[in-house]
Structure 1
């Protein structure tokens, strides 16, 4: 897998974290510099660790499925991309309002999510949720026999940087963006899936 593809994958994977960071930058009015740093560390760290786990799982199976590796990579990327786009398009203004009411109720019931407050519990849950796709990417790396060290460093770094940027943007103009970046990330992954498939078939 070439470096340009890896960079695009890293950016696409970071879009979930970027979108959430924008939201948090907009809603956490009194967020400190250290709290901003924790967001970057958690999102970037989980985005780097998940591909390792996926790669370790996929490496055990790559010899059995190497012949169909381009198709598997295509299906994985296509599935992840479509999921990102679909979930983003499903999030309407009415649903956002409903979710806000549900969050407020959840706060009273179990304290799981603290609206307007920084919470390590919430940060951990968000980091896991936004990095699950990275696990599947790690499997893809293993199937395509791509060395894992450089991709995870790049993925983690890009996620960290975009998370920090997202919080700063959210503090200023976050309400204008919504979840548009997740749609962009999903489209990028879909296009990369087609690229890998066409390369595997010898068309590109």
Structure 2
């Protein structure tokens, strides 16, 4: 039960960000690939964190949250004010910003688990993150149909608010 709660908590960023980006009505192939990459990164980052253990534990938690939050704000700002251009989440830069923004916070969870006797299943975390990403994309796609041409700005605003909430929480 504890592992499932950790997995869902780590997947919430991916769900929220996917909800925002899903409003752009991007190709299904993009949604599938992004979910897979997000899940994979949610396996790799906590595993690296577990291996890192005590070495950087005091500073990594705040740093990872800070980086994650600002990546989401940057991505949201890019979506809202991209000089009139459509945000291309399908570009390597857009995809990397998305995946790093929603995955980096799983690293300090791994560090924390490596320090104590907390057992976490990094595979469970990855699978849940992928499923939550896909769910966010599906719901976002339906909402994008409702918002029409304003969906990109709405999605960008959601990402900015999510990032700012992480910064000031």
**Any gaps of 5 or more consecutive residues in structure 1?**
66-71, 108-113, 191-204
* Secondary structure of 1:118's aligned partner: coil
Q: Does 1:167 align with 2:117?
A: no
1:15 touches 1:182 (CA, 8 Å); kept in 2? no
Structure 1 position 104 matched with structure 2 position 94: no
Indicate the residue corresponding to 2:147 in structure 1: none
2:27 alignment counterpart: 32
User: What pairs up with 1:96-175 in 2 under 5 angstroms?
Assistant: 100-101=80-81, 103-104=82-83, 115=87, 118-148=90-120, 151-173=121-143
Please tell me whether residue 13 in structure 1 is matched to residue 35 in structure 2.
no
Q: For the residues of structure 1 that align with 2:6 and 2:115, how far apart are their CA atoms?
A: 16
Query: Helix, strand or coil for the counterpart of 2:4?
Result: helix
1:9 is displaced (CA, Å) by: 1.4
Tell me how far apart the structure 1 counterparts of residues 94 and 33 of structure 2 sit (CA, whole Å): 12
Q: Distance in 2 between matches of 1:159 and 1:97?
A: 24
* Distance apart, 1:56 and its partner CA: 0.5
Cα distance, 1:133 vs structure 2 = 0.9
Is the 8 Å Cα contact of residues 50 and 110 (structure 2) preserved in structure 1? yes
CA 1:170 to 1:54, structure 2 compared with 1: closer, same or farther past 3 Å? Answer: same
1:6 Cα deviation after fit: 1.7
TM-score by length of 2: 0.69
Tell me the TM-score normalised to structure 1 length: 0.58
How many Å apart are 1:154 and its aligned residue?
0.7
Distance 1:124 1:99 in 2: 14
Counterparts in 2 of 1:36 and 1:12: CA distance versus 1, 3 Å: same
Find the aligned partners of 2:141 and 2:9 in 1 and give their Cα distance. Answer: 22
Q: SS of the counterpart of 1:104?
A: coil
Distance apart, 1:172 and its partner CA: 1.2
Q: Which has the larger radius of gyration?
A: 1
CA–CA separation in structure 2 for the residues paired with 1:142 and 1:99: 37
Displacement of 1:129 in angstroms is 2.1
Partner secondary structure for residue 118 of structure 2: coil
Q: CA RMSD in A?
A: 3.8
